[in-house]
């Protein structure tokens, strides 16, 4: 198969992994009229992924969003396979396997040997080091991250992650493919979590701290949903699966500074097998067949126990405090990301948050919102949080500079 011209999407794309993300990516590619080779390591997993895709398409037909003929055409563009060798003629391969560097090493080493020299290799990783992954190959210039958001066949946002060796031509093909798929691509740099998930970490951290300090899951989510978010952080965690972030916390535990405050609430929930909606219990309880969150007294008791163990005196928390603590955590981290060059401009960060994380569009994104509030007021609040809660709230140098100079994030 010929090499795609600059800025042209490849005609055939491979996807490694038929799970939730891989299946959704395969559907997005097929919806765009592309040929897809979907590879899974065992027949049972492949069959499960194939049935899920059939179910999703059938649901669209039942709702009148898709015709029977179109469903058959799209499924016909996807070729299931149990062999990586079938990816030899793909112009681009997207890896969507388990979020573990050893797994990535195995897959990329094999793909590098199997795929044509011109083929581009992409990882759907949500936070692992793309430069390290590129190092598993002899083609680092043709390796990048393509972080889709779940469900990939629905969500428009795509973080295109540029490694230190990723060539402009490779980025051009990735952006062309994104546009062909109807996605909204945003270029980001390499760091733990890139832009979106890196900013989620302090946002979630504050939500968990607020629970220990006196708020309930329902109050935290309710305050932020009334602020305009599509879903509060605890409901969102239950939907995504608490075990996913738990695996990340366990992986990074050896390097976590021991002197910094750490909430064990989510860890304790996971230790009890409460992984969210998929297990019927997480921060909330879920009735069989329902996604509606039901407040659970057992979770309240667990939160209170964690607070006692850490010597935290619980008290009433206002909705205004919940919004300020979580939103300004986003803003402070966003300022660091801008200063480090992980994002090119403030609007890129805001686009990621509006289109990938349910941030209210009418507020313009976290950095635009901060500018509307006024950066001097935001910085004053962050300094108060810093004095009360310690170094996790150290103000970002860029934010301090902008306030001194009377500028905003959108003046950069």
Question: What does the angle CA 134 – CA 139 – CA 145 come to, to the nearest 5 degrees?
Answer: 40
Residues 6+ apart with CB under 8 A from 3: 91, 118
- Return the pLDDT at 1: 47
* Coil, helix or strand at residue 198: helix
**End-to-end CA, the chain:** 44
Burial of 314: CB neighbours in 10 Å, binned 0-12, 13-18, 19+: middle
Residuewise pLDDT in 10s, the chain (412 residues): 455 555 678 989 999 999 999 999 999 999 999 999 999 999 999 999 999 999 999 999 999 999 999 999 999 999 999 999 999 999 999 999 988 999 999 999 999 999 999 999 999 999 999 999 999 999 999 999 999 998 999 999 999 999 999 999 999 999 999 999 999 999 999 999 999 999 999 999 999 999 999 999 999 999 999 999 999 999 999 998 999 899 889 988 999 999 999 999 999 999 999 999 999 999 999 999 899 999 999 999 999 999 999 999 999 999 999 999 999 999 999 999 999 999 999 999 999 999 999 999 999 999 999 999 999 999 999 999 999 999 999 999 999 999 999 999 999 9
Which among 33, 36, 68, 67 is positioned nearest to 50, based on CA atoms? 36
Q: In what order do the strands lie in the sheet with 12-16?
A: 78-81, 35-39, 12-16, 92-95, 120-123, 143-148, 157-161, 184-188
**Alpha-carbon dihedral sign for residues 228, 231, 235, 238:** negative
Residues labelled as active-site residues: 147
Domains of the chain by start residue, with CATH: 12-188 (3.40.50.720), 206-309 (1.10.1040.50), 319-411 (1.10.1040.50)
- Cα distances from 323 to residues 4, 108, 237, in angstroms, run 47, 42, 18
pLDDT at 320: 98
What pLDDT sits at residue 402? 98
The residue among 171, 90, 163 whose CA lies nearest residue 133 is 163
C-alpha angle with apex 141: 140 to 143, nearest 5 degrees? 60
Measured between alpha carbons, how far is 323 from 369 in angstroms, rounded to an integer? Answer: 12
What pLDDT was estimated at residue 8?
Answer: 77
State how far the Cα of 211 lies from the Cα of 308, in Å rounded to an integer. Answer: 12
Burial class (CB in 10 A: 0-12, 13-18, 19+), 262: middle
As beta bridge partners, residue 184 has 157
DSSP string, 248-264: HHHHHGGGS-TTS----
CB of 380 closer than 8 Å to CB of 320: no
pLDDT at 87: 98
């Amino acid at each position: 198969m010929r090499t795609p011209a600059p800025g042209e999407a490849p005609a055939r794309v491979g996807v490694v992994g038929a799970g939730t993300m891989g299946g959704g990516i395969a559907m997005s590619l097929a919806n765009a009229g592309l040929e897809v080779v979907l590879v899974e390591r065992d027949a049972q997993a492949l069959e499960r992924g194939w049935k899920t895709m059939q179910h999703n398409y059938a649901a669209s037909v039942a709702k009148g969003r898709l015709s029977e003929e179109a469903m058959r055409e799209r499924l016909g563009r996807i070729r299931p396979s149990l062999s990586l060798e079938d990816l030899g003629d793909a112009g681009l391969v997207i890896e969507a396997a388990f979020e573990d560097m050893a797994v990535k090493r195995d897959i990329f080493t094999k793909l590098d040997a199997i795929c044509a020299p011109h083929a581009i290799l992409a990882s759907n990783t949500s936070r692992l080091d793309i430069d390290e992954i590129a190092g598993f190959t002899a083609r680092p210039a043709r390796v990048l991250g393509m972080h889709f958001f779940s469900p990939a066949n629905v969500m428009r946002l795509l973080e295109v992650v540029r490694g230190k060796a990723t060539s402009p031509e490779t980025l051009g093909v990735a952006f062309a493919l994104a546009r062909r798929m109807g996605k909204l691509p945003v270029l980001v740099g390499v760091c733990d979590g890139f832009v979106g998930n890196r900013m989620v970490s302090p946002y979630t951290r504050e939500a968990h701290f607020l629970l220990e300090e006196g708020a309930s899951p329902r109050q935290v989510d309710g305050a932020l949903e009334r602020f305009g978010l599509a879903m509060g952080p605890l409901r969102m965690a239950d939907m995504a699966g608490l075990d996913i972030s738990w695996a990340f916390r366990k992986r990074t535990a050896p390097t976590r500074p021991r002197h910094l405050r750490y909430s064990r609430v989510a860890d304790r929930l996971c230790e009890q097998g409460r992984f969210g909606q998929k297990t019927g219990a997480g921060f909330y309880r879920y009735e069989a067949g329902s996604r509606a969150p039901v407040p659970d007294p057992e979770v309240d008791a667990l939160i209170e126990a964690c607070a006692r163990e850490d010597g935290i005196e619980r008290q009433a928390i206002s909705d205004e405090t919940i919004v300020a603590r979580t939103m300004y955590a986003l803003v402070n981290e966003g300022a660091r990301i801008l200063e480090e060059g992980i994002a090119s401009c403030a609007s890129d960060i805001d686009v990621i948050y509006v289109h990938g994380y349910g941030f209210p569009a009418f507020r313009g994104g976290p950095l635009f919102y901060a500018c509307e509030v006024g950066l001097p007021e935001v910085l004053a609040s962050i300094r108060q949080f810093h004095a009360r809660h310690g170094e996790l709230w150290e103000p970002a140098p860029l934010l301090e500079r902008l306030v001194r100079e009377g500028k905003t994030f959108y003046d950069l």
